[in-house]
Amino acid sequence: MEMSGNRIWATGDPDNPYRVYFTGVGQYLGFFSPFYGGGYIDLEKGGRETPVRVVHYRKGSGDSMATVLCSSPDGLGSIWQVDINSNTVDNFTFAIPMAYKIVGSIGSNATFSVVKAKDNIGFANTKGVFFLRNKPQMLNILTTDETSQPIRPDYRSLNQSQIGNLCAYYYEGKIFFSASEGSTNDIIFIYDLERNNWTYKWSRGVKRFFEYLETKSYKMHIRVLLSKYRSYTTCESCDGARLKTDSLIWRVGSKEDADAVLSLDKRFMPKGTKWSR
């Protein structure tokens, strides 16, 4: 789902693969029913392309518009933009969607690779990494241009059957891509929008990447990102007691006092000791 033009947009309905849904506005935001200003539109129903992702973007002239990336069996697809017009009959107003295909555009079969980066929409497909943006020196024209030419041989060497699982994340002028050489996402490569260059197979690896993000955890969106990948493991030094060894040596009061407060299985002893309880 995506918020665009004061409406929520959605796609990915397995029963209607060509369909893009939208809600009403204002108090009816969240209602997809036509009775509340919502509705849907099928993009080339029965064709080779199916919508996979809706993003909030703009027309070439700058006006905001829901933008739909489509996939096809060859992993390319195309890009559409959907606008909503209103028509009133008596006292009832209908929302009428109008779809426009961006001529010559290329879409994506990797849903999680779609990112908003500055004034661009970046995404990956079977051919490489592309950007949707204004055509240089051409007024109000949107195009999709490949940016992965410098690493094209490396990109083509990826596990093509796993391109659909490729993921991307935009942070401080860089797009971090997670892709598969094997059966799972096992490498990271980076595109630097400010320097316009690529780093293929980031030498720091995933662990160092998250260690770096931890230094930025005072930022809310970084904390949210880290929480998605954080797991809890038992400390090897205290076995989960959360106390230093010196603190675990001491006991206050009698065994009867301790039994009355906490059961034996919930008490901690210094790691490595075999004292009787």
* 88-115 per-position pLDDT tens digit: 777 777 788 999 999 889 999 999 999 9
Please say if the pLDDT value at position 265 is more than 70: yes
Q: What is the largest CA-CA distance in the chain?
A: 86
* 150-183 per-position pLDDT tens digit: 999 999 889 988 999 999 999 889 999 988 888 8
| Phi, psi for 113 (deg, rounded to 5) | -90, -5
The answer to whether 267 and 277 are in contact (CB under 8 A) is yes
| Phi, psi for 29 (deg, rounded to 5) | -65, 125
Please say if the pLDDT value at position 277 is more than 70: no
pLDDT at 207: 66
pLDDT at 55: 94
Minimal CA–CA distance to 179: which of 110, 233, 80? 110
The answer to whether 149 and 128 are in contact (CB under 8 A) is yes
* 207-262 per-position pLDDT tens digit: 667 777 778 777 888 888 788 777 778 888 888 888 887 787 777 788 888 888 88
Please say if the pLDDT value at position 266 is more than 80: no
- Per-domain boundaries in the chain: 2-200, 243-277
Q: Does residue 130 sit in helix, strand or coil?
A: strand
Q: Give the number of other Cβ atoms within 10 Å of residue 232's Cβ.
A: 5
pLDDT at 248: 78
Torsion sign, CA atoms 23, 29, 33, 38: negative
Torsion sign, CA atoms 22, 24, 30, 34: negative
Torsion sign, CA atoms 28, 32, 35, 40: positive
pLDDT at 245: 79
| Phi, psi for 252 (deg, rounded to 5) | -115, 130
pLDDT at 54: 95
The answer to whether 55 and 121 are in contact (CB under 8 A) is yes
pLDDT at 125: 93
* 40-89 per-position pLDDT tens digit: 999 999 999 999 999 999 888 888 899 999 999 988 899 999 999 888 77
Give me the residues paired with residue 144 across strands. Answer: 132
